[in-house]
Structure formats: structure tokens, C-alpha cells
Structure 1
């Protein structure tokens, strides 16, 4: 979805994405034309923004639940301001969105600070302070690509472990330091499920064990597909602990308890609006229109929105619009 790759893997993925984007432009299909906004919206209490009325904008995004919802939030706010919005909210993968933004096929969207820092900008080590990570990405992307990063939200779609409530009550584990103590005293009671990539990544299982001072080899580990881990952890039979993404809707839908990363080992993946520099210079009013997202989007909110799609089966466009209507930022068209 948005995780760090090896240097060779990043290079290959970037080259492939660039080739595909170029091919699509040359053949006149794919990324050239966005669709219309999926639902109508009207202005919020402050009305439209005169300087933006009728201005064309293309909003891009990624093809997983949180990526689609985030794109729709941007689209509806811009449409409510009076802009003519084209929807490219479900591009296949992070690199497709990134290349579309850099090439100018997309004007604006939402991205994760950790993804840009490590996957796009090629850094090997994350910056674990959220503000410092955002500042580093903001400065580097401005210099290299004239991509502007608006203030980030507190949404942080990073890794963690989760367990069901019965296991949490039985073990008393609520932090990774607690987990490390359990591993040291009774490793057989800490059966842990994770996906293949997490098991070998430096910012995954081996690094986690080093940071918290436990023996990774002592823990019974089961390798599973990500989607299976959530359900298996909820029953507590196959997985006492399971690797999760903290804003995944299944965390709340299955009533899982997420461990606190009390030593802040995992990278920061804060969600923020990104926009082409030339486009923002031409339309600086965008920052004020989209600034409410910084205030209203939190991990708890995003978990709820994701759950309504992934667990309850609701349409992501309806979920995004209803949320903005509830916040008083747009009216239903």
C-alpha cells in the first residue's frame, strides 16, 4: 500500500511506474481523463470562493479504502468551493499517483509523509518525530519536484500489533514494552501473526525486537496474508497478537486492542494534502479551503470512516460526503 521498499525495489517500481505513465499519455488513454465527482455537493456556510469558481482541478488518489476516502474528501471540499473537479481517485498504487502528480496529470491529492520520505525520496531511515518528518518531506519535495505539502493531519496509518480484548485482559499487555516483557517471561503465550514483508523488514519485526530488547527467535510466529490476520487475531486462537495498520477499519469493526508504540519505533505516516507548486501559486486559496481537514481528520475518525466501508459495506463517496456534511463543511447537493 504505502510501505518502504529496498533501494533496488524502489528504483524498479519507480521506473516501471514512469514507463506506464508515459505509455498511457502516448496512447491517449488511462490517466489522461478524469471522471466526474461521484456525488453532488453544495457550499458550506461560508459559500463558494469567488477566485476558484469554475476553475478546473484534477484530484488524484490511491486505490485502497483510505486512499479513496481521502480523495473524495478533497474533491467534495473543492467542488463546494465552486471548482470544476475531475476525479482520478483510484489510481493503481502509490507510484501511479506520484507520477501523475509530478507529470501534471493530477493537480492535487493526499499522501503520507513516511511514504514520500522513504519510497519516493529514497531515504533509508525514517524520522520518527511527526513534525520533523513533515518538515523534511516538505523541504525535500519542494526542492526536487516543486511539490507543496500542506500542514499534515494527525492521521498516522502506521504499523502496530493488535489483540482481542480477552487476551488483553488476560495478559495485561497494552504497550510494546509490555509485549516485550511477556516474550521474555512466557514466549509461548505470545504467538504472533504477521505478513511476509513485515517479518524481514528493518522497520518491521527484526528492528522491533532490537528496539524493545526481546529475542525475536523465541516468539512463535505465523506468516499470513494481511486480511486473514485481522480475523485470526479477533478469535485469539491462531493469533494472540497480529500485525495491523492502525487506521484499518477492521481494527474497530472486530473490536481489536492496538498496542501503544511507547518507544516510537515505527515510522510516521501522517496524511497530508500535496499539490503541484505551479497550481498552488496560481490558486493560493486552495490552502484555506482544505485547511479544515487538518482539524477534523484524526486516527479515530479515519478508523470510523474506513470501517463504514470495509466492515459495513457502505459506498466510500457517501461516507466521505456524509462526514463533511456532519462537520458543516459542505451541504448535500
Structure 2
């Protein structure tokens, strides 16, 4: 069966709600004023910084967490979170349109620094931080959570066909091309550490690739597609009765989250690293899945979720 790719314009109720929330977040609605006497202690009084993020929920939440923490230390933040595409937000950082955003070690290693998914260094964070320092970009101490690409299927589909690993799926797809559709977002479809590399590594090819907005994939697995691209810290995996296929060949690179900013910004405001260190340390896999779920499943506003979490942790005043 010849592989086809089609772009769907499907937009359901959940997708509309998520898109609206992200649009409101990206628009920002003006600057956030810095506070006095918070946990940050006014260390950034007078600083004016522009926050960025990618368009998906986790990245927006991280952008809001960072913005609120820096505001608490006295900074004034211009909210430009919700930028579409990894390459676009990175370019915005390099061209000084934004001052910071959170990225992932795997993205840094492959997409920014131009390496392959093979021969990945043991200490990936340090390798990325050292190499990107030559580009004038600083990677702060990473958080303990890892948000990797994965392929997922409905639990009943996995049970019926004995699918536990990506190797199981590759064998199934090669034998059953009529049940080999994958729903995926544009970036995953085109990244070397995404769909093309995955198919090559496991020796299979999906019969059809359905391009969807990332927020729609979770509800369309089992409907439009048998398989779907997901992020491992996304709470919608469980809420949609999906199961992640084990990457038994270790194709996917580690995607540990870390705040990135230009070195010149860090040199001007070195307090940023101290402010963010305890915040990053508290962002575990379980925490990120909970925060993501409050936005994607419960419909809460990303900034509200970020603020409540920071306050509950005693990380802002």
C-alpha cells in the first residue's frame, strides 16, 4: 500500500477550547508588572524581559511559571508565549524578539545543533549546554522531568493485537497496512528525530499520515487513526484510554526540559539562574502531567495553573 499524507482541518470542541486558550495566552494582553517583597526579593527590579514558549500546553505552562517567578522578583514581563514551531521560537530568541523560553535536550541536540539520533552522549544536557554556549545561548540547570515523543494506541487495540513495544507495532504495520494510519502534528512529521527517523530505525512505514493539530490527536486515535504521536507527560494519554508503545530500540533521544536564554541576558541578570533553580528542581514528570491535565482536561487557564502551583510550593509570594 502506497503511503499517503493528508492534512485534516478537523477541529472538535476540545480542540476549539484548547486553541482558544492558547490564542489568549499568546496574545498576552499586555505586560505583567513586577511585584515587591515576594520570594524573588526584588532581585530583578527594573528588568524588562519578553517571555516566549512553543505553542503546546506544557511549553506555555512553563513560560507562565517562569514569567510569574521573574515578575515576583521585580521584573516586568512582556508575554509572547504560544509561538508556533521549535525553529520559530528559537529564531525569536536568537534575534532578541524574546528573552527566554523552555526547550528540550533532544531538540537541542538534533534540531538546533544538527546532530543525529545515533551516538548520543551519555550526559546529553551537558553536551547540549556546552555546544550551544558557542552560539551565545545558555541552558539553565534542567528540570527532572522528561517529555519525549512517543507513539500511542488505544488500550483495547493494543490488547487485541498484542502491541506493547514499537517493534511489535512495526511488525503489525508491515503485516496489516490497512490498519496503519498515524495521526501526527506537522513538526513530528518532518523532524529527523520524529516520524522519518522512527520509520527508518524500526523498518516500517505507516500507510497514511494524517496531519492534525497536536491537541486533536488524542481524541482521533481509534477514530481517524490507529496510531498517534503523543508527548509522554501529557495527561490526555490516560484520560483517552491510550497506552504508550515502549521504544524498545531506544530511538527517541532524551527530552529533558530546561530554560534557555541568551548568555548576554544571563550576564546582565545572573539572579535568574538562582530564581529558577528551585523551580526547575520541583518540576517532576508527575508534576508536569498534573499541570498539563489541569489545562488540557479540566480547561483551566495556563497562567492560573502556573500561579497556583508556584504559590502552593512557596516559590512565589
Q: With the length of structure 1 as denominator, give the TM-score of the two structures.
A: 0.72
Q: 1:170 to 1:163 in 2, by over 3 A?
A: same
Partner of 2:133: 142
Partner of 1:152: 142
* Residues 96-151 of structure 1: CA deviation (Å, up to 9, x unaligned): 43233223343322122333333333x1413675863322321222112x211112
Q: 1:131 to 1:272 in 2, by over 3 A?
A: farther
- The one of 219, 222, 236 aligned to 1:231: 219
The answer as to 2:72 corresponding to 1:83 is: no
Distance, in Å, in 1 between the alignment partners of 2:173 and 2:86 is: 35
Aligned-residue Cα RMSD (Å) equals 3.4
Q: With the length of structure 2 as denominator, give the TM-score of the two structures.
A: 0.75
Distance, in Å, in 1 between the alignment partners of 2:291 and 2:36 is: 21
- The one of 178, 190, 193 aligned to 2:182: 193
Distance, in Å, in 2 between the alignment partners of 1:282 and 1:261 is: 42
The answer as to 2:250 corresponding to 1:258 is: no
Gaps of 5+ in 2: 1-27
- Contact 2:185–2:229 at 8 Å: present in 1 too? no
- Contact 1:252–1:307 at 8 Å: present in 2 too? no
- The one of 44, 47, 56 aligned to 1:55: 47
Q: 1:242 to 1:102 in 2, by over 3 A?
A: closer
Once the two structures are TM-superposed, the CA of residue 180 in structure 1 deviates from its matched residue by 4.0
Partner of 1:12: none
* Bigger Rg over Cα: 1
Once the two structures are TM-superposed, the CA of residue 264 in structure 1 deviates from its matched residue by 1.6
Gaps of 5+ in 1: 1-32
Question: Would you tell me which structure has more helix in proportion to its own residues?
Answer: 1
* Residues 37-63 of structure 1: CA deviation (Å, up to 9, x unaligned): 29x87866xx33354344333322233
Q: 1:196 to 1:309 in 2, by over 3 A?
A: closer
- Contact 1:107–1:275 at 8 Å: present in 2 too? yes
1:19-168 aligned at under 5 Å gives the runs 35-37=30-32, 47-121=39-113, 123-126=114-117, 129=120, 132-144=123-135, 146-168=136-158
- Contact 2:35–2:74 at 8 Å: present in 1 too? no
For residue 211 of structure 1, give the secondary structure of its aligned residue in structure 2: helix
